[in-house]
Structure 1
């Protein structure tokens, strides 16, 4: 079975609501009209009852029949039956009265041969137990016809209202859902080659504006991710092209004619260096791929960051001495984290700082305990980084120094990206600041558990 469209569902819902409201209002109006007529009839019958009792105060009087006929003549649709206390019929004002009438005191309704009557039973003498009984019958057939016509009109009005509401609801739903069709149209045009399509948020109704905003944000994220993936693939090919070309060229040259054993050994050592660099590049890319999929699960152990920083500074001390760079550490802090991962992140930052610190420069590691975590910064003197480059420093394969050789066996531009992944895996953040002759990488880490 084909499912109903949203417009059809809304139209049927509007029609059903209108029908229910119309029916409810019609029933209330019909009941109110019927109660009003009953009240009027009761007032009329009770008024006539008083006049009839006065006319019949002396039932043996010769004038009682005249006064009774005069009283009944004033209401053409009113009839009277008088019965004795033993149930025998004494008097009928009309020959067309039903044989059996309601016997219970008070007001009741009777239908007989297509005619409707309002019946009122009451004693002639209120204070006598053996008093004759008066039964007044008021013909209300015209009232009932009016109520029946009104009910038919209610059903007709309800049907027409439901139909009109369904048509208007379908039109309103179709007009109101036009932005959804626009979203569908935009979504149908989205592909890997066209991720720049966006919905016009300013023309959207408030209920759909937020969805359009999130839809545009989703397209923006997809576009950004696709561009990064394309750039990442191009960067991988770009980085691997030079070492592969070097390996092929070196191997082909070595095999052009027979050589001594030492020459082959030297060629293999040279190839080994390139292969080791390529293996490290592949391992780094796999590490970043795990980080992208949330597979980096750091172990938690209490670490003395001052001690960890001192060990790394001791490791880099020979390189700093050769480069005539001063290494120092200020402050101390403790937190729960993964020792190996944090060592790798800090090592990447120190290696990066040493490479860009001029002779007689300075590299400092600062540790600060904070109420909600730890602040760690690695800063170095030297030429600052342009503000436009700062947001891209953590991109993969990005090099702030364009003079560096392509396919370098030392650095592929993944160190800062790996550092950011490690910090993110610990629930922290990292940023770079560069001003007044200092370049500073600032890390905010929660203390953990």
Structure 2
């Protein structure tokens, strides 16, 4: 089924609302006009009734007809019927008076032979039980014709108003929805090469300004994600190019001429190191891909962070001793988490800290059990990290050290990205602070 456009829906809605309002107003006016005419007719009939009672008071029967004719001659559209108390006809002022008239007292409306009457039936002598009955008939055909013309005018006005409102509504809706068409045009023009297009938020109506802001924010996120994805692809190619080139070159050189068995064994061992590094790189990338798709689900077991940290410090102690770096730990806390994943995250941070801490420096791991979170800090002395690099420290393949921008078989720039994924999988956050010769990586994990 063909769906109506938003402009058409608004136009039809405007037309329907106008028709309902016009109909309601017309019905009210019609009812008010009819009630007004009834009130006027009732007042006129009651006035004539008083005059007739006065005229017939103490009058001789021989003079009755002449007196009634004189009274009724003053109003041509008024007729009179007089009946006795037992219902016998005494007097009809006109031969056109209908035979069957209402018997109940008061005002009523009848229609006969194309003529409409307002009828008032009352006693000639109100205080007498068997008093003759007066029935006054007022011809109101012209009133009814007026009300019928009014009804036709109401329907005509309602139709024309609905049509005019539909046309004006369609124009107004089309004009009002112009910003949406502009957004649609921008959306159609978006591609991988034009993610920098933006909507002019200041020119949008207040109702669409928030939508335009959200749309622009989405484009910013898409642009940033696409740039990161492009950089990620380039970084992967860059990281794999060096080991592959080494493997190819080493293998080609080895095969240029016959060599002793020991040379071939040494070449294979050298190639094995490069292949192991490439395998580790691929495993790390798969690990991050699982984290991106929410497949990195940590096991939950009670852990003493002090014990886990001491075990890692014991592992890194020989390396720190050789480099003349002081290792220390303070504080303790208990948390539910995955032992292997948390050890990997802390190991990555400690490895980074040791690599960038000068001799006679220190690496300190501190644990603080706070009200709502467990705070773990890995702090090291040495040259700080520039503020311009801090926002990208956790990007994949990103290295803040300019001396390590080329591919390496030791560090591919995935350690901090993996650490961030592990922390987020545990529902925590991680950030870096660097100032006054001290660099500090802070992990905040939900408290058990």
For Structure 1 versus Structure 2, the TM-score category normalised by the shorter chain is over 0.9
Q: Whole-Å Cα distance in 2 between the matches of residues 377 and 341 of structure 1?
A: 17
CA contact (8 A) 1:198 1:216 kept: yes
3-state SS, counterpart of residue 230 of structure 2 = helix
Match of 1:384 in 2: 384
Q: Whole-Å Cα distance in 1 between the matches of residues 62 and 388 of structure 2?
A: 124
Deviation at 1:405, TM superposition (A): 6.4
Q: Whole-Å Cα distance in 2 between the matches of residues 220 and 393 of structure 1?
A: 20
3-state SS, counterpart of residue 404 of structure 2 = coil
Deviation at 1:240, TM superposition (A): 0.3
Q: Whole-Å Cα distance in 1 between the matches of residues 50 and 298 of structure 2?
A: 101
Is 1:98 the counterpart of 2:98? The answer is yes
Q: Whole-Å Cα distance in 2 between the matches of residues 298 and 284 of structure 1?
A: 16
Question: What CA deviation, in whole Å up to 9, does each residue of 1:331-387 have, x standing for no partner?
Answer: 111111111111000000000000001011100001111000111100111111111
Match of 1:163 in 2: 163
CA contact (8 A) 1:110 1:117 kept: yes
Match of 1:426 in 2: 426
3-state SS, counterpart of residue 158 of structure 1 = helix
Structure-to-structure mapping, 1:190-269, within 5 angstroms: 190-269=190-269
Structure-to-structure mapping, 1:32-51, within 5 angstroms: 32-51=32-51
Match of 1:22 in 2: 22
Match of 1:127 in 2: 127
Q: Whole-Å Cα distance in 1 between the matches of residues 222 and 124 of structure 2?
A: 95
Q: Whole-Å Cα distance in 1 between the matches of residues 286 and 344 of structure 2?
A: 15
Q: Whole-Å Cα distance in 2 between the matches of residues 14 and 392 of structure 1?
A: 53
Match of 1:113 in 2: 113
Q: Whole-Å Cα distance in 1 between the matches of residues 13 and 160 of structure 2?
A: 15
Deviation at 1:67, TM superposition (A): 3.0
Deviation at 1:422, TM superposition (A): 0.7
Match of 1:341 in 2: 341
Match of 2:360 in 1: 360
CA contact (8 A) 1:58 1:64 kept: no
**Over the residues paired in the alignment, what is the CA RMSD in angstroms?**
1.3
Match of 2:144 in 1: 144
CA contact (8 A) 2:399 2:405 kept: no
Structure-to-structure mapping, 1:405-424, within 5 angstroms: 406-424=406-424
Q: Whole-Å Cα distance in 1 between the matches of residues 56 and 92 of structure 2?
A: 14
The worse-fitting range, judged by mean Cα deviation, of 1-10 and 155-164 is 1-10
Is 1:5 the counterpart of 2:8? The answer is no
3-state SS, counterpart of residue 52 of structure 1 = helix
TM-score (norm 2): 0.98
TM-score (norm 1): 0.97
Q: Whole-Å Cα distance in 2 between the matches of residues 70 and 182 of structure 1?
A: 82
3-state SS, counterpart of residue 150 of structure 1 = helix
Question: What CA deviation, in whole Å up to 9, does each residue of 1:131-179 have, x standing for no partner?
Answer: 2111100011111111111111111111111111111100100001101
CA, structure 1 residues 405+101, in 2 after alignment: closer, same or farther (shift >3 Å)? closer
Structure 1, unaligned runs of 5 or more: none
Deviation at 1:73, TM superposition (A): 2.2
CA contact (8 A) 2:361 2:382 kept: yes
Is 1:293 the counterpart of 2:293? The answer is yes
Match of 1:310 in 2: 310
3-state SS, counterpart of residue 230 of structure 1 = helix
Q: Whole-Å Cα distance in 2 between the matches of residues 85 and 433 of structure 1?
A: 112
